[in-house]
Each structure stands twice: as structure tokens, then as C-alpha cells.
Structure 1
Amino acid sequence: MTDLLDLPQGSVVALQVPGSTAYVEVVLALLGRGVVPAPLDPRLTAAETAGILEDLEPVAHVTDPADVDDLAERVAGEPRRTPLARPMHMTSGTTGRPKGVWSGVLTEEQGRALVEEERDLWGFRSDDVNLVVSPLHHSAPLRFAMGTVLAGGRLVVPGPFDVARLTHAIESEHPTTAFVVPTHLARLFAHWDEVGTPDLSSFRLLAHAGAACPQPVKERLLETFPPGTTWEFYGSTEGQLTACPGEEWRERPGTVGRARPGRSITVAEDRTIWCVVPEHARFTYYREPAKTAEAWRETPDGPAFTVGDHGRIDDDGYLYLDGRREDLVISGGVNVYPAEVEDVLSAVPGVLQVAVFGREDPDWGQRVCAAYVGEADPADLAARARERLSPAKRPKEYHRLDDLPHTPTGKVQRLLLPDLVEPDPA
């Protein structure tokens, strides 16, 4: 195998192995040398992998966990180096073929700023024990794991998500931090209803992101974990925009918080969210200049990027999300934002998850539809919609499913829903 520790700066290495403590050590060692790891999902099909590798053309493609273990042993004990790169994560692919998010090689100053802003925000410290819940080939869990290790803390990597295994890890390892997506929380809470809630007093930080958190799940989170420990943040593979303590969410239900330090957020007339980020947090789409140009624009405060999400900002600077531009349903000329409708329907007792989507309609262009998981009666959802939503926003169809289609990062794949449900008779 190519010696990954002796590659030129800017080289791309595809890592397609399960997450582990050794995995994080190797990623940090590569970043300290200015080599760019591209974490890939080990569960990708051969065809999916081939397409990504064709785009990235990495100098090496690591698929054997033993190679990662060997590399971790080689770098064990060496002094920590300032990261001179960011991992090149692939976008989730919910709106097209995955794209590599490329930041190139950083200067020493930019690398230090990258580490320090994460440490300042999340308070990583040497006595932290980070429980890794999500796969480490995703950006948020890897970022939390790297921040912990760079601060001198310890990782606990139980393996693929399993509620019993995670509960045991909480009881035995006493983690102080974790990152989760809302689906993890819903499944953990359901398990704890059966077996009892473990002692959570060791936690100082439980952060969630990746998808909208249903209000009942959010309320349960705040009631279950120690006061002051829960945070939500909004961002994407491309960059991080906001952070919101649970206490601020209680005062403004539905918000994802205000801009993180060093960033500013604006909402355009079409409700598209734009964010100015520090120089070390800027990116391009790897070998995709046209898509990169679409994502960035110049502002008086500097270059700003968007991933196409829509939202609004209140007078105090708190951001509220409406959803992605691709998710927008236009019914009878009225713009219907799925997030607004989902927020209303998620409060119905018996609704565990809900997703709103559009279906073609000969009269209205699109009609609003809802798919949900849970035991609630569709009539109860319809009654809630009549009470809280104007007619154009009320779903015309309600479909109960065993589960909703999600990306590995927890985002609902709304574009798949029309093919998963039978249309109601006209």
C-alpha cells in the first residue's frame, strides 16, 4: 500500500473502513501532514463507490481496517500536529450525485483557528469522554471526535447504532459528550421506556443536528438530560452556521439558534439562507467550478455560501428553517414549506415522525401530502391542520408508514416518498 504518511500536501486519500479510535488517529495524522482524507461509507455499493472514486481520483483507497490499525500504531506517541486540512466529506446526495467539499491545504494559522473555534464553542477538554453514536465517515461525529482527541480526551466507539449497546456504553463508560441525530433520540427514548433511563449525570454536552427535531422528541430531550447540557446546531457538510442551547429553544420553540461566532447569516428575498464564514471555513466543490459558483456570492461582509435552505430570522437574530428549496411545494401558486406543516403535525399525540411532500395535481400543480410514523389516526392530523394551518398548507393526503426513508445522516428523503405511498382516490 502507498505510504500515506509520506504523501505530498494536498493529496487525497479515500478512507472506506468502519469507524474506530484508530480511524480518528489516522485522520488527524493525515490532516497534520496536509493530506486530505475523504471519508466514505463502507456500506456503499460497488457502483456508488466507483462513481465517487472516479470523481475524486484519490492517490490511495483504504478498505482494510487492518491498514488503519497499522497506521495508527505508527503514529502513536508522536506529537500532535496542527491540522493543515479539513477532511473532504461528500455531500449527502439528497438532491443529486454526492459532491466533495474541498478546503485545500490550510496555513498553520488557519489550522489553529479551525481547532480553536471548535474548542471555544463546545468546550472540548482533557477529561472528556466522547460517545460516538453516528458513523465517523460523517462530518459532525468526526468533528466532535477529533476535537475531543486534540484536547486530550477519550473516545468510546460502540459500533453500529444499537439502542441496547449504546445504553450499556452510557452506563459503563460515563460519557461527557455525544452527537446524535433526532432519529437516534426517538429510538433511545422508546428503548428507555421499556428498560429504564440510564444515569445521564456524566453528560455535560449532548448535541443534535442533521434533521429537524420533532417537538415531542425535543421536549423529552430537555426533560431527560441534565439542565444546560443539550444543544442543537444547524449546518451541513459544507459548513456550520448556528448553535442553540436547549434553554434558548424553550424560549423560542422551533429556532436553530443564532449565528456561531465568526459568522453572519442573512436571508434573501426568496428566503434562501446565506452565511459568511471565516477564511479557514471556506470551501469549493471538488472539481465542480459551476456548482461552486452557484453556492457562493459576494457580500459587503465577505463571501457567503448557501446550500439552498430556506428560512427566516427574527428581530433578535434567531434563525428558523423552512426547508430546502427542492422540498418546496407550490400548490395553487402558494409556497408551502414542509417544515412549517411538519412542526404543526408533529405535536399530534401518537406521531413519532412526519414528513410533508408534494405530489403532482392536475388542478393545483402540486398537492400537499404527509407521511408519518406512529399510531395516530389520520383524522387527528387533519383536525390539527384545520386548526393551525391555512387551507393551502393543509395536507390533502395522510399516509401511515412503518418508517420514513432517511439518509445515513438522518435527513428525510422526501423525493422518495411519492413512490412509497399510494395516492388517495381523487
Structure 2
Amino acid sequence: MPSPASLRPGDRVALLVPGSRDYLDLVIALLAGGVFPIPLDPRLTATERAGVLDDLAPTLAITDPADVPRLLAQLPAPARHGVPLGRPIHVTSGTTGHPKGVFSGLLKPDQAAALVTEERALWGFTADDVNLVLSPLYHSAPLRFATGTLLAGGRVVGFAEDGLQAPFDPVTATRLIETERPTTMFCVPAHLQRLFAHWDRVGVPDLSSFRLVAHAGAPCPPAIKRRLIELFPPETTWEFYGSTEGQFTACRSEEWQQRPGSVGRARPGRRLLVEDDGTIWCVVPDAARFSYFGAPEKTAQAWRDTPQGPAFTVGDLGHLDDDGYLYLSGRREDLIITGGVNVYPVEVENVLSAVPGVLDIAVHSVPSDEWGQQVIATVVGDVDEDALRSYAREHLAPPKRPKEYRFVEALPRTLTGKVLRRQL
């Protein structure tokens, strides 16, 4: 393993190991020295690793979990508690194309401090917080919540006896809720579904320690959302909408109850703009700007200047109501064009998820000689197809009504809960 002395500001360190407490400390320490960690899924194949690492050209790639504490021990002690001078280089999922590294660049000290302060102000991180980690730390949201907690002086729980992060398990998560009394938790709807199913069998644990439960990463079925609000303490549950590139909105569940389907208003320091074609743009402060590492043409496509300031898009579609609340229609690459009519899967999913018995649903398409594309709904749950068709006739225009319903035990999803529509 190269000596830390060989690392310079602007260098990159690929982390191809499971998450751990040392992993979190290493991320903070590297960023405090201006070195950018690249958190990656340790299960990537050699081919997949090469495709990512060739683009990002890391100075160092860590593949042995034992090297994490070794490298951390060799870094200056103050760096372990320093202010990050940038964000980790997270790689976009690549489900719609070649993965890209999202790069903040080296921030000036005042920008770096502003980024930490902004996150702490939004989520209220304090030294009293105990963050329960459920998702792999190579994903941006769980890493951000965990490091935000540590930077505020709190602690993070959710690791196995060997100190490494294990795959999510509702039994273990429930035990940690009972023994560690976490105050915060980031999750995706799939986590909630599995937790609630487990609690239906064994009973709901004492959830009174929580002050913040935030979910994101995928649309939350209304039934799961309502259960979340019912079980956790009042005014503790949130949804936010964002991407690897940046965060757009934050929405208390109480706001969602008043505006079902909304993902909230622009989070502090941001402003939302929606074009006539539905493309969502987000105006951000300078500290939150990014580029796609080594891909200037893709960076240029993501940004534009507006009278309100620099704004970026990730190609998501939606609309704003008169009070500035955002409603998502989906992603442009998920768009179904059937008979010349645009159909957004999320819109159809939001409608049909209200049918009693529907636990999960994904809308996608198959080629059609007659229509170009044909709308298909893949459903999880104990529900009659006739009930789905009847509800669709009542609530959806003809082009949006699925022509075929398929029933499965579970939808294929990424670890952050996104549906793998291509597999459907």
C-alpha cells in the first residue's frame, strides 16, 4: 500500500471495501486533506471496476478491508476531525449509460464550512445523535448522513461484530433500534417494507428515540408512507428528492399529507425551475456545484446559467404547484411513447398504488407493432387484475392504462431501492 505521504490535494482514493466506522473516519480524513475518496461497490466485477477506475484514475485503490484502518492510522490525527474540502466522488449508477464520477472539486475553506453548516442546519445533526446506517456506505445519502453525524460529534451504529457493514436485515435493524436507541435513520422504501413486515410478525419496537427518519431513493408507496407516519413519533419523518449530483427538495410527512404525491419544496439555499417540457432544474450555491470528472461535454449538458444563478438538471421531469411544491413525473429515459402519446411511469404507478392490495408496482413498456410501445404494469401484492383495470379506467386516460398486468413476488431493485426497469 502506498504511503499516505504520496497523497496530495486533488488525488483520488478508490474504496472497494465494505463500509465500517474506520471507513467513515477515513472518508472524513481524506477530504479534510483535499484527497477525494471514491466509494464503490466492493462486489463490482473486474470488468466493471476497470471501466470506472480507468476514467477516474485513482492514485490508490483499497481492496482489502484491513488497509482502511492502516491508512487511517498513518494520516495526521487532526485530519480525522477536519472540515471536508469537497465531497466524495460518487459514481452515478450507470443504469442508463456509462457511469460518471460526480466531482465537487477542491472547495475554499469558507465554501467547505458552508456546505457542512448547510447540511447540519437542514437535518439538525448534534453531538447527541446516534445514526443508524441501513444502506451501503458507497451510496451518497447514507454516507452523507453518517459523516454529517460524526462531524457534529455524534456516533454511528449498524456494523457487525467484525466492524464491517453487513447486508440489511430487518431482524438486526430492529435489535439495534432496541439496544442502541438511534435518533436518526436514512432509509429507502424497500427497507421500510421489510421492517414493517417483520414488525407485523414480532411486534413494533419502541421508536420513541427517533427525531429524524428520512427516506429517498425511490417512490414510496402511499400505504408504506402512511404506515411510516403512523408508527414513528410525530414530525420526525421526512422525504427528500435528489440525486448523486445534488439534493433538490426536503418534505416533512405532514406536508405530504396535505399534498399527496409531492416531494416538497426546494431545500434551503436551492431554487427549482421547471421548463415547459417538464425538465426540472435546480439552482444551487457555488459550494454545491459539480462537474462530471473528465467529461466536460456531459458537464456542459447538465448546467445552464439562469437569472437566479447556475442551475443543473439530471433529466428528471415534473411540475410545481402554485406554492412551489414539486411533483415528479419520472425520468426522461423512462418515458413511454405509445401511439405518439407520452406516458410517465411514475404517474401511472402513483395512481395504481392506491388500489387495495398493491404492495409494490412498476410501470414499463414492451415494443408494440401497433403502438410503438405498450404500457405494462408489474405488480406485487394480493390484488385482482380486474380491480386494477377498473381503477385504471376510472383514473387514467386510455393511453396511460396498462395493456397487460404481470404479477411477481418482488420487483428487481438496486440496493438504494430504484427499480431495474430494464430487467422487467
TM-score by length of 2: 0.96
- Contact 1:132 1:145 survives alignment (8 Å): yes
* Partner Cα distance (1:25, 1:279) in 2: 26
Q: How has the CA–CA distance of structure 1 residues 76 and 224 changed in structure 2, closer, same or farther, with 3 Å as cutoff? A: farther
Residue 367 of structure 2 corresponds to residue 338 of structure 1: no
Instruction: Select which of 189, 206, 209 maps to 2:216.
Output: 209
Offset, 1:71: 3.1
For structure 1, list consecutive stretches of 5 or more residues without a partner in the other structure: 418-426
Paired residue for 2:16? 16
Offset, 1:415: 2.3
* Partner Cα distance (1:150, 1:89) in 2: 19
Per-residue deviation, residues 229-258 of structure 1 (Å, max 9, x unmatched): 000000000000000001000000000000
- Contact 1:215 1:346 survives alignment (8 Å): yes
Q: Which amino acid is 2:312 matched to?
A: F
Paired residue for 2:362? 355
Instruction: Report the secondary structure of 1:344's partner residue.
Output: helix
Residue 120 of structure 2 corresponds to residue 119 of structure 1: yes
Paired residue for 1:64? 64
* Partner Cα distance (2:175, 2:157) in 1: 12
- Contact 2:4 2:75 survives alignment (8 Å): no
* Partner Cα distance (2:72, 2:192) in 1: 32
Q: Which amino acid is 2:232 matched to?
A: F
Paired residue for 1:186? 193
- Contact 2:16 2:62 survives alignment (8 Å): yes
* Partner Cα distance (2:150, 2:259) in 1: 34
Q: Which amino acid is 1:38 matched to?
A: I
* Partner Cα distance (1:244, 1:4) in 2: 41
Paired residue for 1:147? 148
Correspondences of 1:82-97 after superposition (within 5 Å): 82-97=83-98
Q: Which amino acid is 1:26 matched to?
A: L
Per-residue deviation, residues 20-75 of structure 1 (Å, max 9, x unmatched): 11100000000000000000001111211111111111000001111112233445
Q: Which amino acid is 1:247 matched to?
A: E
Let me know the Cα RMSD of the aligned residues.
1.2
How many percent of aligned residue pairs carry the same amino acid? 64
Residue 107 of structure 2 corresponds to residue 106 of structure 1: yes
Offset, 1:5: 5.9
Q: How has the CA–CA distance of structure 1 residues 76 and 11 changed in structure 2, closer, same or farther, with 3 Å as cutoff? A: closer
Instruction: Report the secondary structure of 1:78's partner residue.
Output: helix
Instruction: Report the secondary structure of 1:372's partner residue.
Output: strand
Correspondences of 1:132-281 after superposition (within 5 Å): 132-158=133-159, 159-281=166-288
Instruction: Report the secondary structure of 1:85's partner residue.
Output: coil
Paired residue for 1:41? 41
Instruction: Report the secondary structure of 1:256's partner residue.
Output: coil
Q: How has the CA–CA distance of structure 1 residues 5 and 88 changed in structure 2, closer, same or farther, with 3 Å as cutoff? A: farther
Instruction: Report the secondary structure of 1:65's partner residue.
Output: coil
* Partner Cα distance (1:364, 1:303) in 2: 40
* Partner Cα distance (1:10, 1:381) in 2: 54
Residue 386 of structure 2 corresponds to residue 379 of structure 1: yes
Paired residue for 1:424? none
Offset, 1:76: 8.6
* Partner Cα distance (2:192, 2:309) in 1: 37
Residue 371 of structure 2 corresponds to residue 364 of structure 1: yes
* Partner Cα distance (2:75, 2:176) in 1: 27
* Partner Cα distance (2:422, 2:316) in 1: 15
* Partner Cα distance (2:3, 2:149) in 1: 27
Per-residue deviation, residues 172-221 of structure 1 (Å, max 9, x unmatched): 10000010001110111011101111110000000000011011110111
Per-residue deviation, residues 72-99 of structure 1 (Å, max 9, x unmatched): 3445953621211110000011211211
Q: Which amino acid is 1:270 matched to?
A: D
Q: How has the CA–CA distance of structure 1 residues 74 and 197 changed in structure 2, closer, same or farther, with 3 Å as cutoff? A: farther
Residue 54 of structure 2 corresponds to residue 54 of structure 1: yes
TM-score by length of 1: 0.96
- Contact 1:14 1:40 survives alignment (8 Å): yes
For structure 2, list consecutive stretches of 5 or more residues without a partner in the other structure: 160-165
Paired residue for 1:421? none
How many residue pairs get matched?
417
* Partner Cα distance (1:402, 1:56) in 2: 38
